[in-house]
Structure 1
């Protein structure tokens, strides 16, 4: 089997994604600019959306799920008066309404969007239906019926309200579709609606203020880009860290339980350091850690 070309680069590059391109395109550009052997991202943004796209490089790809599962914050604008096929401004208008809600009406329905809610993803989404992506089926003209799925909404705040639109900030868990929130708000308010602008402000520990502009990602800026990398363990800041003994670190690297210092709850997910860098993510078992993901640094 041929080896992947590229350099062994480990860490996170936080990109402020511009509108008009896919998340995969951003990852490919980062990988090319850094000549990295391996890269991935933690949480897809729609092509028209902007903001935090956390790109994992090398061994950091083993921590992607911890960012994907983390809370995320979105700033978005909903235009009232029309529902579209994609639930955003890029889609075909399906229905129109002359009704417009005021701020009081919006505030009254917001409580129904807090906590554990059930959400139907947009027809144009990456959700799989019998092995096919929903957006592929929708583009082929097939009627897509997706099942509702649970979503944790930490907060939904009305930032400003105008005659034809409203701006919100939402903090939610994994799998949230802002386009679905806009669609459902429009239906509940009787005015119909779709997303007109969407920006991810933060994702887990990563903030848009730390994001690199897409126009700065190039082979010519490779050295500077490397200086912007965050360490692999930046994704694990909410997880307890324990210190492996020298013998414990060796055993862990071989995939065996290893001795650690420090304590955690029995069975709790922790990450282990050898004093110089991360060794693994694993489960604490009272003086030892059973590794689940070992880092080859």
Structure 2
């Protein structure tokens, strides 16, 4: 049978799913590859992730399906928590174990010195982004310059280290826990701590344990996901509003729900039983408590920002 006579392979129907999968990403897989695998397992029509994890990193990677993709940006803005291990005494080209060693120094510090050095990185600090990063310069990612052997000027950026806790110190290896603001490079943090100790360092392991209010507690691996049947897999999906749990909640009556879903601004005094601070809120229908979307409370008004597609909309 010629190629033109071959029957086209039937397309596998895709499913319209709404929810959030808490994935425990494996070592060596990019975030995008993990997303593609999960999307294929679910046969989902629409999916996206909430910020990348390097292939070297493992741990929590929230994946959004359907309507949840509208709110993925909210997790990009959230604080992240990691457990990391750095190796003192060796600097590498990439700041982690994937790079080549470029500097080796003796490690003469002790645990007390490590703890003291780490304490100086709590709070607001300035980081210079690494060359091996996806940040762009003149439209080209920095890692492309780095692979070509070029180093370009990078401006320091302010980030916030909320928690920096020493977990284990078996020199030259140091394991620590860090909770940090968006835009923080844990590789760079490890390098900077190493420089503060006078011996240099690079990251050897990184595991993300928290994103905003989400944790690894209910996360599932790709292998475990593939072993489940369709109903069991669907049960592993968190509701769309799992991404929004840090926002105050507002419930609307039937009339206010219709107006909200048509993009109309509402007077807070008419819809909120309690006083709301200015800022973003999650909005629900009073009847059934279904999520309607996200709005911004400001100057006594509730202004819709992003809406969930519903039968009422």
Between the aligned partners of 2:298 and 2:124, the Cα distance in structure 1 is 32
3-state SS in 1 of match to 2:234: helix
- Which residue pairs with 1:92 in the alignment? 100
Give structure 2 stretches of 5+ with no counterpart.
1-12
Contact kept? 2:30, 2:53, Cα under 8 Å: yes
Q: Does 1:291 align with 2:304?
A: yes
Q: Does 1:262 align with 2:273?
A: yes
Taking a change above 3 Å as real, the CA distance of residues 288 and 247 of structure 1, as seen in their structure-2 partners, is farther
Q: How does 1:136-151 map to 2 (within 5 A)?
A: 136-151=144-159
Per-residue deviation, 1:36: 1.5
Per-residue deviation, 1:293: 0.6
Contact kept? 2:75, 2:212, Cα under 8 Å: yes
**RMSD between aligned residues:** 1.8
Between the aligned partners of 1:162 and 1:145, the Cα distance in structure 2 is 35
Give 1:236's match in structure 2, choosing from 238, 244, 253: 244
- Which residue pairs with 1:250 in the alignment? 258
If the length of structure 1 is used for normalisation, what is the TM-score?
Answer: 0.93
- Which residue pairs with 1:169 in the alignment? 177
Between the aligned partners of 1:32 and 1:162, the Cα distance in structure 2 is 42
Between the aligned partners of 2:72 and 2:209, the Cα distance in structure 1 is 18
- Which residue pairs with 2:85 in the alignment? 77
Contact kept? 1:241, 1:271, Cα under 8 Å: yes
If the length of structure 2 is used for normalisation, what is the TM-score?
Answer: 0.88
Larger radius of gyration: 2
Per-residue deviation, 1:266: 5.2
Q: Does 1:178 align with 2:189?
A: no
Taking a change above 3 Å as real, the CA distance of residues 123 and 221 of structure 1, as seen in their structure-2 partners, is farther
Q: Does 1:279 align with 2:279?
A: no
3-state SS in 2 of match to 1:217: helix
Contact kept? 1:240, 1:264, Cα under 8 Å: no
Between the aligned partners of 1:123 and 1:158, the Cα distance in structure 2 is 27
Q: How does 1:20-99 map to 2 (within 5 A)?
A: 20-99=28-107
Contact kept? 1:40, 1:61, Cα under 8 Å: yes
3-state SS in 2 of match to 1:14: strand
Give structure 1 stretches of 5+ with no counterpart.
none
Contact kept? 2:85, 2:203, Cα under 8 Å: yes
3-state SS in 2 of match to 1:113: coil
3-state SS in 1 of match to 2:35: helix
- Which residue pairs with 2:222 in the alignment? 214
Contact kept? 1:263, 1:287, Cα under 8 Å: no
3-state SS in 2 of match to 1:183: helix
Q: Which moved more, 1:61-70 or 1:218-227?
A: 218-227
Contact kept? 1:284, 1:290, Cα under 8 Å: yes
Per-residue deviation, 1:285: 4.9
Per-residue deviation, 1:137: 2.0
Contact kept? 1:77, 1:167, Cα under 8 Å: yes
Between the aligned partners of 1:136 and 1:167, the Cα distance in structure 2 is 30
Per-residue deviation, 1:138: 1.3
Q: Deviations over 1:78-107 (max 9, x none)?
A: 001110111000101111112342111112
Q: Deviations over 1:23-49 (max 9, x none)?
A: 111111111111212111112111011
Q: Does 1:108 align with 2:119?
A: no
